[in-house]
Copies of this chain bind each other. A is one copy, B any other.
């Protein structure tokens, strides 16, 4: 019997299934586990911040791609705040600027961050997969893919709780990005969750939604894989690549 013949899950059960995907969130990736345990050295922390910046600057592009596929004015009026949250508006500098300040707090120069000179190919490919998904898929699927934000407040809170003790060499002011995102992610995820629960309303579509969320979890996981390969097992590149 194909899955199309199964009745849809209730909204409560569907939401539960989505939330259970959190077991694959990158908070469980060894790179993040080591980071939270205070086991990374300054170069590795800087590598993470510099590489993750590529994800940060891609968020407004991704959200603009979603906006360009979104024919519903009310939805656009909600979604556009995701872009201004990152790019800023008026005197508000926004999330990208906050990330640069995090970079400076860990000892990177602004130009070193914005030039993307430290960004490794695996990070680019994973993040670009996310942008291209948003460009090419129906907007409801892209909204669904944003649901990793269900799990984001925990990772940000964890960093705020552990970094000041483990990484005393990092200026505290630099952690403002994490503080901002706890509130922003909560607001964003509520609207994205309602869209997802409404749109994916057959069992087949609900299972498709789980696959989409898995895709986005894979993007974040691969980002940490690439950092692991580059900053924890650098022998892989340095000993062979230019040999």
Contact = CB atoms under 8 A, between A and B. Distances in A.
Contacts of A128: 125, 129, 132
Interface stretch (A5-13, A168-176, A233-241): A233-241
A105 interface: no
A24 interface: yes
A122 interface: yes
Contacts of A124: 129
Interface in A220-242: 221-222, 225-226, 228-229, 233, 236, 239-242
A242 B24 contact: yes
Contacts of A240: 28-30, 33
A218 interface: yes
Given A121-B221, A229-B225, A241 B126 contact: no
Contacts of A239: 30
Nearest to A122: B222
A2 interface: no
A71 to B, nearest CB: 24
A80 to B, nearest CB: 25
Interface residues of A, number: 30
Contacts of A24: 241-242
A40 to B, nearest CB: 16
B28 A241 contact: yes
A226 B125 CA distance: 12
Interface string A99-129: 0000000000000000000000110111011
Contacts of A225: 122, 225-226, 229, 236
Contact of A228 (B23, B33, B129, B236): B236
Interface of A: 23-24, 28-30, 33, 121-122, 124-126, 128-129, 132, 215, 218-219, 221-222, 225-226, 228-229, 233, 236, 239-243
4 nearest A-B pairs in the assembled complex, by CB-CB distance? A121-B218, A125-B125, A125-B129, A125-B126
11 contacts: A28-B241, A29-B236, A30-B236, A30-B240, A121-B222, A122-B126, A122-B222, A122-B226, A125-B126, A225-B236, A229-B229
